[in-house]
Structure 1
Amino acid sequence: MDSWAGGVFESPRVSAHIAEARRFIASSDHRWDQINLNLLQTSPAAGQGRSHVDARVLTVEAIQDYLNHLQPHGVLTVIQNSTELASRTHAAILAANGNRDDSILSFQLSEPTNPFSHLLIARNEAFTNAEVERLRSIATDCDAVIATYPSLANPATDDRPFIFEPSKRIAIHALLAALLALLILMVILARERHTPGNPLSVTAGVLIGIASTALQVLVIYRLQTALGSPALSMGIGLAAVLGGSGLGALFFGHFATAKFWPQCSMSAATGVAVFVLFSPVLAEYCDTMNHTLAFITMGFFTVLTCLPIGLPFLAAIHSCKSISGHVEGLIIGCDGLGSILGATGATALAMTAGFSMVGWTIVIGFVGVSVFRPQHDQSPG
């Protein structure tokens, strides 16, 4: 890599740091003359999976952080390899600097075969006319021209960290999975509609599955905000959700009965609401911490807020103990089908309305579970 970069790493003025870019900047008290972002996109970003690329290093909030770490008249430079990426980066920079278009310049190489043909230069101060002309002259010598991009209403933000809009192919796949799950649920409801209480059991199981799986999607993203690593965040997130709900069932499982069905569901809704309200602030704070301390802090917080998450499912199962037939299996199966809807729905909602909306939808889902109490379990005992 050093030879490819022209031997730059041999310079005594260069220090190499292996770290996630945004965490490194946020945790540093240095100010730089230039912060350069390039080669951020991967092949999936430019290909089939690009609609799911997390643009965390190019969100409005991230760019604000970069600008805050510049010396006076220091510059942020971003190199992109497509008009679409450059356009969305341009929109995020404008949103970050208060829509001051006099403090950002964009250039594009005339050579269409160059893979890195877009350069965006931004700073906190406005560019003077003399500076613009000087940069334009340099660009001309490099066979580049000033580029203009269309205005975009939805730049990537920390709450909606997607630099691409959903592709039709990805949307179709998600829709097909959701439709298949719904079709199976309709068949189950049609079969169980004459059995007292079973349609409500099906509905409760589906809502629990939707809310629980969507919560895992939300938790993994919030942890990624704090920890940086997607793989580490996924492992810790799933462990925290499952571990927290398991501990909650262990310590408070004796309350998870038909009698306390509504209370169990409302406690789960409360736990999710606490996570939705405080996890963004805590994640931002953890972004400046030592990696191990951030892992412990976010993991512990997630476990605490997830303690009541397993209680609605446990209450649903316990409420069926005195019922003959297959109601327990019915709820477990519908919980699994609800998980499919939760995963696809959470992804679609995050990409369109943001992760906070995912969180509040989960809260509504658990509140709904408290309403759909099976009829045959409405006795005081």
Structure 2
Amino acid sequence: MSAMRFSGLAVLVVSATITTLSLLLVVFAHEISWHLLPQILLFVVLIVIAADLMVRDPAGGTISSATTLFYVAIYVFNPITTLFTVALGYGIGNALPRNWVTWRVLFNAAQMGISAFVGALVYRVLGGNISAGFGPWILPALLGPITHHLLNNFFVAAFLSQSVQLPFFRTWVAFVREFLWSNLLTIPTAVLIGLLYVRVHPVSLLLFLVSLPFQRLAIKVYLGQRETHLRIIESLVKTTELGLPGTKGHSRRVADLSIAIARELGLSEREVEIIEYAALLHDVGMIGFDDMLASGEAYSRVDYVLEDHAVIGAELASGLPRPEISEIVRFHHKMASSLERMPRKRSLARTGCVIVAVAEEVDSRIFGLFPYREPQSQDMVLEYIIKHRGRLFDAAVVDAFLRVASRKDSLLPSIEDHAASFQVG
């Protein structure tokens, strides 16, 4: 496997983050609460355990319960002690897997430590004092973790925007929205543990271990439900494609290209996931048109087939938990300029429609799938997409698609790939 290469700016982001952590620790080392070393070590051990028990998210990244401990540290330590504790614990936790990479461990430790440091600063500046009564520190107890959340995602978005050429601001906003509610819901638990830590005994921190298995189980159950949905959808798609000769892999290719475009636009992974489901299901309504396609009748009634298969597909997808999936399937053949009339016109549903529309048009033309009879070259397809930018196809989506298509590792299929898929032996 070839080594991953990053742009100079991506390397700069990583280097600057690690250097900032180092400078903060050197300059303010005398302010670390060394007299609280036993408590610091207890935090570090628990953060290591929580980090080591991170659950891999199939949609990308990881989900961890360590955030609760970061917030407790913000409440009970001064800022530089918070930085030292969080960076050390998270760094060790990230270094435990056998396949750990030095720069990634250092960057993760640095960005998480700095985020906690600034969160603790905000908490202190606003008068946060968990030993005081409830009233004076409720606002600081909320804004400290929110600051950590914003800055943590800032670092991640800054790196991704330079390493894989994603738009920085939209990526940052997408990440902030993605995990905001889950992190906000973590705050009450962090406050409770912090109160017990300060007012009862520091060993109360061990209560975190009691909740850890339940938190991890809840995360796994949630991710398991998503994987089950995906397996059911893929089975339905395969059943549909069996009755439509020449379409094998079409839905998966459209989904992969839709995912790439959505990420290029800076959508969150949850939004990308919904668009993936819709892209996989976009042609499921064709299951009743196999005879018309086989006889060629469908080519003389293109508008009827395109409209009806979208309606049928939307009905089949309506049982899924997110209504946007059904809406994307229903309207994915509509011109971008006509989607202002669709429900929730500024919602994810409209964004998904215009993304899937481009992805399907590209794949159908390159592979010569209905309503086209013959494959077209990539140059012809690109020319058509560009020509109709802003009318048939959303301008921002076309621009994102062109950026995706221009990369060496582009998901854009080729005529040669199509021919190879029919070779035998």
In the superposition, the TM-score normalised over structure 1's length comes to 0.29
Relative CO higher for 1 or 2, CA cutoff 8 Å, sep ≥ 6? 1
In the superposition, the TM-score normalised over structure 2's length comes to 0.26
